[in-house]
Amino acid sequence: MLFNNQKEINQSLQGIVNWDNDDLIINDADKLRTDILDQLVLNAAINSSPEVKGLSRYILKSVALELGIVTSSIQGLYEARGRGEIKGFTVPALNIRGLPYELCRAIFRTAIKTQAGAFIFELAKSEMGYTFQKPQELSAIILGAAIKEGYKGPVFIQGDHFQVNAKNYAKDKDKEIAGLKTLIEDGIAGGFYNIDIDTSTLVDLSKSTVVEQQRANFEVGVELTKYVRELEPAGITISVGGEIGEVGKENSNEQELRAYLDNFNELLEKEKSGATGISKISIQTGTSHGGVPLPDGTVAEVNLDFDTLENLSRISRESYGLAGAVQHGASTLPSDLFHKFPELETAEIHLATDFQNMTYGSSLFPNDFKEKIYTHLRSKFAAEKKDGETDEQFIYKTRKKGFGEFKS
């Protein structure tokens, strides 16, 4: 049910919650979950009225806080890992592209069942575009899912790949940076207290030295990290991630890691003395986002460089006090490889595409609706199909855009 105005929302909450000045009081949490919560989430996501949408989000966030569900930064945990106080686990970062409420509910159910606490919900800059989800919306949905499933504790929400577009940067540096700063503002306002700044797109391998290759990467990274520090709420140190190797490109190495971190830390201290730097470092080890689709639509096997992952993760902890290295593009890897990530002390692993594959591949997904989506994608994005690419390859690469195109 979509509400027509704020009055209808307040009427639906009678006897369930009430307001004491600006404080929300929950009278019946069970009835809230069964009778009204799903409607609040729906209106927070798709109501056409900004006022109704805004109030729905505000109520969800207020209820969550009252129930002990708190949007948080993972900084403290990562600092402890960097000091060597904890080890032996890898934090999953889960990209929420489609069916966000249902997917987040399933994640919270699993977390409660397995007594897990260190897991991250995330969305990349690019994903916000094609899924039509903004930070304020996604955070409200995530908190609604936590309320629904009875979860309590910190909720880590992350801006993944807040990435510089290299072509746009070359055309107009100031405009591109300003756009990223606006994205950072929106993210923090939406409770994204974990932000991965990706300036690795600016690495220039044509330069003669590693430092010069990484220069734009660490200089722009410092500028954006300073901006995060200026905006972060009182009492919260936002966890900021850096990146030295663009996913899908050349594998990273120790020289690049040290060149980036040494110069990043030196420049940050010079420009904002005492400012907290990054908590982790994303590297390239052989994966690509979504995997490489074969002509039949299956995904090619990846030769992942575990030695590089282990070595750079160790160096980043022992020499720089970071939580370790981050593995991107991992969801389509064989399941029998996943045990290696905690064994090698990988700090974080990003998982996206296979959740999408599970959704589209589910026997519960209506075939006629799926074909409707695919037909639309074939028509609207036909220009993106490459010469020699099969329909299966095209659909595999493009169907992520169906989540936004058919959002309702």
Task: Tell me how far apart the alpha carbons of residues 121 and 179 are, in angstroms, rounded to a whole number.
Answer: 23
Please give the pLDDT value at position 250.
Answer: 76
- Would you state the structure tokens that stand for residue 252, as one six-digit string? 């990273």
Task: Tell me how far apart the alpha carbons of residues 325 and 345 are, in angstroms, rounded to a whole number.
Answer: 8
- pLDDT tens, residue order, the chain (408 aa): 899 999 999 999 999 999 888 888 999 999 999 999 999 999 999 999 999 999 999 999 999 999 999 999 999 999 999 999 999 999 999 999 999 999 999 999 999 999 999 999 999 999 999 999 999 999 999 999 999 999 999 999 999 999 999 999 999 999 999 999 999 999 999 999 999 999 999 999 999 999 999 999 999 999 999 999 999 999 999 999 999 976 546 789 999 999 999 999 999 999 999 999 999 999 988 766 555 565 665 665 667 889 999 999 999 999 999 999 999 888 778 888 899 999 999 999 999 988 999 999 999 999 999 999 999 999 999 999 999 999 999 999 999 999 999 998
126 φ, ψ to 5°?
A: -65, -40
**Residue 298: CB atoms within 10 Å:** 14
- The DSSP annotation for 296-338 comes to TS-B------HHHHHHHHHHHHHHH----EEE-S-TTS-GGGT
The residues, any chain, with a CB within 8 Å of residue 381's CB and separated by 6 or more, are: 398, 401
Q: Could you read off the pLDDT of 258-287 as tens digits, one per residue?
A: 999 999 999 999 999 999 999 999 998 876
The residues, any chain, with a CB within 8 Å of residue 374's CB and separated by 6 or more, are: 395, 399, 402
The span from the first CA to the last CA of the chain, in angstroms, equals: 12
Please give the pLDDT value at position 20.
Answer: 85
Task: Tell me how far apart the alpha carbons of residues 224 and 222 are, in angstroms, rounded to a whole number.
Answer: 5
Please give the pLDDT value at position 408.
Answer: 82
- Hey, what domains does the chain have and what are their CATH numbers? 6-67 (no CATH), 70-358 (3.20.20.70), 367-405 (no CATH)
Please give the pLDDT value at position 246.
Answer: 63
Q: Kindly state the helix (H) or strand (E) to which residue 101 belongs, with its residue range.
A: helix 100-114
Q: Is the distance from CB of 277 to CB of 265 less than 8 angstroms?
A: yes
Please give the pLDDT value at position 300.
Answer: 58
- The DSSP annotation for 372-398 comes to HHHHHHHHHTGGGPPTT--HHHHHHHH
Q: Is the dihedral of CA 187, 189, 195, 197 positive or negative?
A: positive
Nearest to residue 194, comparing CAs of 79, 305, 332, 72?
A: 72
Please give the pLDDT value at position 248.
Answer: 47
Please give the pLDDT value at position 103.
Answer: 97
Please give the pLDDT value at position 139.
Answer: 98
Kindly state the DSSP code that residue 33 receives in the 8-state scheme.
I
Q: What angle do CA 71, 77, 81 make, to 5 degrees?
A: 160
Q: Is the distance from CB of 353 to CB of 98 less than 8 angstroms?
A: no
Task: Tell me how far apart the alpha carbons of residues 166 and 390 are, in angstroms, rounded to a whole number.
Answer: 29
Task: Tell me how far apart the alpha carbons of residues 319 and 362 are, in angstroms, rounded to a whole number.
Answer: 45
Please give the pLDDT value at position 312.
Answer: 96
Helices (H), 115-247: 125-131, 135-149, 166-171, 173-189, 210-231
Task: Tell me how far apart the alpha carbons of residues 198 and 367 are, in angstroms, rounded to a whole number.
Answer: 37
Nearest to residue 82, comparing CAs of 208, 229, 261, 246?
A: 261
Please give the pLDDT value at position 331.
Answer: 75
